[in-house]
Structure 1
Amino acid sequence: MRRPAVRSLRGRLLVGTVALLVVGLLAADVTAYLALRRFLDERVDNTIELVLDRGLARARLAGPAMPTAGMEQLVPANAYLALYDAEGTLVLGRLPLQHGDARRPVVPPINELPERPVTIGDDPETALRVRRELLPPEQALPVEINGQVRPVTGLVVGVTLADNAATLRRLLLIQVVAGLLIVVLGVALARLVLNNGLRPLRAVADTARDIGRGDLRRRVPVGDPRTEIGSVATALNEAFDQRERSEALTRTFVADASHELRTPLSAVHGWADLYLNDGITDWDGVDEAMRRIRTETTRMGTLVEQLLTLARLDAHQPLARDEVDLGRVCADVLDSLRVTAAHHRLALAVDEPVTVTGDETSLHQVAQNLVGNAVRHTPPGTAIEVRVHHGDEDVVLVVHDEGPGLDAQGLAHAFDRFWRADPGRAAPGGTGLGLAIVRDIVEAHGGTVALDSAPGQGLTVTVRLPRATT
Structure 2
Amino acid sequence: MSERTLARLSRWPLRRQLVAGIVMLLVVATVVIGVVTVAVQRHTVLDRVDDQLETVLEAQRSAVEDEAQEIPRMRARSVVVIEADGVEEVAELTDESGVVSPLSDAERHQLLDGAGREPYAETVQLSDHGSYRVTSAALDGGGQVVVGQSLSEVDQTIRDMTLSFTVVGLLGVTLAALGGRWIIRLGLRPLERLARTASQVSQTPLAEGTVSMPSRVQDQDTSPGTEVGQVGAALNRMLDHVEDAIGRRQSSEDQLRRFIADAGHELRTPLAAISAHAQLMERRRTEMPEELGHSSQRIRSESQRMGLLVEDLLLLARLDSGVPLAEEPVELARILVDVSADAQLTAPGHQWHIDLPEGAADLTVRGDAARLHQVVSNLVNNAKDHTPEGTSVILRLRADRADAVEVTVEDDGPGIPEELQPRIFDRFVRGDGARSRGDAEAGQGNTGLGMAICAAIVHAHRGTIRCESRPGRTRFVIRLPAAPHSAGPAASARG
TM-score, structure 2 length as denominator?
A: 0.43
- Indicate the structure (1 or 2) with the bigger Cα radius of gyration: 1
TM-score, structure 1 length as denominator?
A: 0.45
